[in-house]
Amino acid sequence: MTRWRAVAVGVTVAVLTESVGYVLTGRLSLFGGAFGGLVAGWVMSSESDDDGRSGAGRAATVNRGAGVGLAVGVAWGVVLAPVAVYLSLATGEVALSPYEHVVRTVGLGMLAALLAFGLTVPPLVSGVLGATFRTVYTATKTNRRHG
């Protein structure tokens, strides 16, 4: 089951990170969602009942990290996509950083698919990484204490 507190923390981190990035560069990027997914995976694994010592416990935690990262990606995409379209229409140039060169060369369907892929996969992967990092950190800390 998705840990909604972790998803809320991840989306908040994504919004704050992207806001700072936009103020500094004047462009939107996919970094906020990826960083939010990483933080959500870390937070979710801290809520886990398993201490991360068993292989099955680690795999379950990493799987939950993927789910939380995907949830952050979808929630973040719901926020970022309309904002990016609005800013693109208002300024006359593409506001989403990695897509400025792609927009004029692909069709609308391919652009929608690339946008959906770009908004959901990086947070999913970083959610797995965040959960993995937290699991390894917790297992190392536990082994030092008991070993």
pLDDT at 48: 61
d(CA 144, CA 46): 18
C-alpha closest to that of 32 among 136, 1, 23, 107: 23
pLDDT at 55: 66
Looking at the DSSP assignment, which residues form a beta bridge with residue 96?
28
pLDDT at 8: 93
The residues of the chain scoring below 70 in pLDDT are: 1-2, 47-56, 145-147
pLDDT at 72: 92
pLDDT at 21: 92
What's the full length of the chain, in residues? 147
Query: pTM of the full predicted structure?
Result: 0.83
Looking at the DSSP assignment, which residues form a beta bridge with residue 89?
none
- Diameter of the chain by CA atoms? 61
Evaluate whether 62 touches 131 at the Cβ level (below 8 Å): yes
d(CA 10, CA 43): 9
Burial class (CB in 10 A: 0-12, 13-18, 19+), 105: exposed
Give pLDDT tens digits for 90-103.
888 888 888 888 88
Q: How far apart are the first and last CA of the chain?
A: 33
pLDDT at 126: 92
